[in-house]
Amino acid sequence: MPVMNLEAEASAPVITIDGPVGSGKGTVARLLAQRLGWHYLDSGLLYRAAGLAALRRGLPLSDGAAIAALLQTLPIRIEARGLEEPRVYLGEEELGDALRMESVGQAASQVAALPEVRAALVDAQRAFRRPPGLIADGRDMGTVIFPDAGLKVFLTASAEARAIRRHKQLKEKGISVTLSRLLHEIRERDERDQSRPVAPLKAADDAWFLDSTAWSAEEVAEAIHAEARRRGLV
């Protein structure tokens, strides 16, 4: 019965992992989702798709109404594919690797500051909450999208460590960018994500803090898993 399904979805457990770019939250969230057999939401992909859509249409990255209207006609959809990279669609079109570009990350960070764009993406994010559970990675997962999550992790690392990780990730993807430029871009993006008035990157009041500077992704995933067990979530 639909009502019972809705209840099951609303009560499916959620672990949120919020933090700045390069904190390792994507890798850790994926590892945890694999270990637990839970669903995984990479919410940054939705903002990246919105940024890319606006860039392509030549819309000003400050025009929230126009971008939200565009997303009404061309909805963004993420198709999870188990352990593989999810597919992201804008309308019928699959967006692919362009989403990972640093320029698209910057555009995402700009459109993510617009309340109309954030509002347009709420339902798509909450729809990921399904049994047996969800690992949600982003900036406002614990503060705005899933405020009743059973465990809200706030993952940080030094800006230098984050720049080195991003550099390695991009290099593996064949994208070349200097470390100093990345460090500069990371600081710029942190500043914008933390200072915006709507849903800024900040820890929830009841967040569980982890500094991953000296830790591997496996160690971080293990620590979160242990905390989830301690809380009876898994």
Site residues, ligand DC (CB under 6 A): 21, 43-44, 47-48, 105, 108-109, 112, 138-140, 189, 193
Taking the complex as a whole, how short is the minimal distance between the CB of residue 193 and ligand DC, in angstroms? Answer: 5
193 vs 234 by CB, closer to ligand DC = 193
CB-wise, 13 or 44, nearer to ligand DC? 44
Q: Kindly tell me which of 165 and 189 has the beta carbon lying closer to ligand DC.
A: 189
Q: How far is the CB of 57 from ligand DC (least distance, A)?
A: 18
Using the minimum distance from each CB to ligand DC, give the nearer residue, 2 or 148: 148
Helix axis angle, 102-111 relative to 179-195, nearest 10°? 10
In angstroms, give the least distance from the CB of 47 to ligand DC.
Answer: 3
Q: Which is nearer to ligand DC, 9 or 190 (CB)?
A: 190
C-alpha–C-alpha distance, residues 121 and 179, integer Å:
32
Comparison of 21 and 33: residue with beta carbon closer to ligand DC: 21
* Nearest by Cα to 193 from 149, 135, 138: 138
Q: How far is the CB of 82 from ligand DC (least distance, A)?
A: 20
CB crowding 98-118: b at 16 or more within 10 Å, else e: ebbbbebbbbbbbbbbbebbb
Cα 113–Cα 95–Cα 29 angle in degrees, nearest 5: 65
Residue placing its CB nearer to ligand DC in the complex, 2 or 138: 138
Shortest distance in whole angstroms from residue 7 CB to ligand DC: 26
**What's the Cα-to-Cα distance from 71 to each of 120, 163, 222, rounded to whole Å?**
7, 31, 38
* Strands, E assignment, 19-164: 39-42, 76-81, 84-90, 93-94, 134-138, 151-156
Q: Is the bond preceding 13 in cis, omega lying within 30 degrees of 0?
A: no
What's the min distance (Å) between Cβ of 131 and ligand DC? 22
CA 96 to chain centroid: 17
The CB-nearest residue to ligand DC is 44
How many Å apart are CA 14 and CA 40, to the nearest integer?
A: 10
- Measured from the CB of residue 232, what is the shortest distance to ligand DC in angstroms? 26
How far CA 99 is from CA of 42, 47, 208, 215, in Å, comes to 12, 10, 30, 27
